Structure 1
């Protein structure tokens, strides 16, 4: 991340190709993550009613109240407020799976409910925006990128991983490929962090003065969601992997998916995309810490 920031700031033209690389690199990361999921367990994961209910309640009942309180820090600036609301009201469906797996969380269970998380946030985001900022913002949003991101980042990598597992079960070469790709998850995570930071750091740096107010909102959100996720897991009597997964789902937001939505907003919200990107940068640092911290806080 530090190297990528240095490159992005000293060589600004790298931003465009790095931004174009985000989706394919993230897709590869998720393909490697999905290879570690036994697909036979997904049906069983969908029957984990307490886990599903806990993730939904935390993300769509608890989080909006916390966001409403924290967003008062930037409520004086509409562009800042809109960017903060877009990103914090939408739970992550992509690289949260990789971080959850690295922390020993129930990534298979979380994967099984990604379609539900996607559908619920598409349905509820407009309602939350109307409540928090009014209907004008909602009328300016095109929600098609949600569906596009779901296909590119979840459906295609998931199908490719299932096909790879089927081939690996019948072929030694396929098995070696599966093991090699699954073993590349950490380098792919490093590459994902690098392209995200390199593509966005120059834009954030150019408006850093205006964006500084959003940083404490994001830091406070990440800090607050860890104990809330742990408490929710214990109240629901989830096992250790399930509780860890709830923590990561609660703390990680859908920034890379909502960014195209925010980019399509009218010109007066021109700062909002950088507000979303700033959340990504803060969150990535938090996730690197949480991968080590959460297993220590949530253990048998």
Structure 2
């Protein structure tokens, strides 16, 4: 199956995996011991395959268009975090729920953001150049955001001894992807390696969400009453992303294709970059990981709407008068 086909049908792949994972976890209660351990290596492979699709060695090129870059960074790291904090204040006072929402909504996507930008007739070149910049910035700012916004005592929840394995699951694949990119530029026959790896993120993420569902079926049942809350917050965030993109693109006087790129950047969140952190939380905080998976599914369905609305209504092509 081609990469394009996988990406077009990825929503149904993930939804099927969640349902199968819940079924396996319900029929085989001991499955959590097995699937919980398998999540980490598969997640590391997923991140490696994803990072190889990002032009990590082209970071300097991303700074050439300062107007677009500054607009995207201001929206993602100044305005969106304020909106997320306000939305979270409207949710029930459950620390695991709020921490999960903060984790998944505070940082912009670095994977399917590019895919949806391409499908939605956005400026894929700028989307690709923006991605490594937002990855570096979010790794630096996410701890600060959580310290400022989380109600829980993070010193007792995000303990260094528990979180450092999760950081390694992100940083080691990132380093390996950078090495792979350098290696792939060495010889002609190596240059197709990143392209071949590009087929793997959707299948690997399908496996990851299935394993998470199977390992946390009890937490899913306990958090079922929170599903409407997560859906409502996720949908509200998607709506805000559209409004914010329209406003900032107008202020910065960006062309339509760059405005579309802003919309997809503000609307998509970095769910499986923060998933290792959510999975590393101590017992009693399993809801945070479930919230991350729930939000990503809502977001994927929201992207189906974005693909229609953004290029046709929000940022239609400008027809020049004859």
Q: By the TM > 0.5 criterion, same fold?
A: yes
Residue of structure 1 in register with 2:20 after alignment: 7
Distance 1:160 1:129, change over 3 A: closer
1:266-281 alignment runs, 5 A limit: 266-281=282-297
Tell me how far apart the structure 2 counterparts of residues 271 and 38 of structure 1 sit (CA, whole Å): 33
The question of 1:282 aligning with 2:298 is answered yes
Residues 156-184 of structure 1: per-residue CA shift (max 9 Å, x gap): 3354345435533xxxx557x46xx7488
Tell me how far apart the structure 2 counterparts of residues 157 and 95 of structure 1 sit (CA, whole Å): 17
Among residues 154, 170, 187, which one is paired with 1:167 in the alignment?
A: 187
CA root-mean-square deviation: 3.3
Residue of structure 2 in register with 1:91 after alignment: 108
Residue of structure 2 in register with 1:25 after alignment: 46
Tell me how far apart the structure 2 counterparts of residues 238 and 147 of structure 1 sit (CA, whole Å): 38
Among residues 222, 228, 242, which one is paired with 1:207 in the alignment?
A: 222
Q: Does structure 1 conserve the Cα–Cα contact (< 8 Å) formed by 2:59 and 2:133?
A: no
Q: Secondary structure at the match of 2:153?
A: helix
1:139-178 alignment runs, 5 A limit: 140-141=157-158, 142=160, 144=164, 145-146=166-167, 148-152=169-173, 154-161=174-181, 163-168=183-188, 177=192
Residues 230-270 of structure 1: per-residue CA shift (max 9 Å, x gap): 33223212233422222222112222122222333343433
Tell me how far apart the structure 2 counterparts of residues 151 and 291 of structure 1 sit (CA, whole Å): 33
Q: Does structure 2 conserve the Cα–Cα contact (< 8 Å) formed by 1:19 and 1:195?
A: no
Q: Secondary structure at the match of 2:90?
A: helix
Among residues 67, 72, 82, which one is paired with 2:84 in the alignment?
A: 67
Q: Does structure 2 conserve the Cα–Cα contact (< 8 Å) formed by 1:100 and 1:107?
A: yes
Residue of structure 1 in register with 2:206 after alignment: 194
Residues 38-93 of structure 1: per-residue CA shift (max 9 Å, x gap): 97x76433211111111111112111221122112324212211211122112223
TM-score by length of 2: 0.73
TM-score by length of 1: 0.78
Per mean C-alpha deviation after superposition, the further-off stretch among 58-67 and 94-103 is 94-103
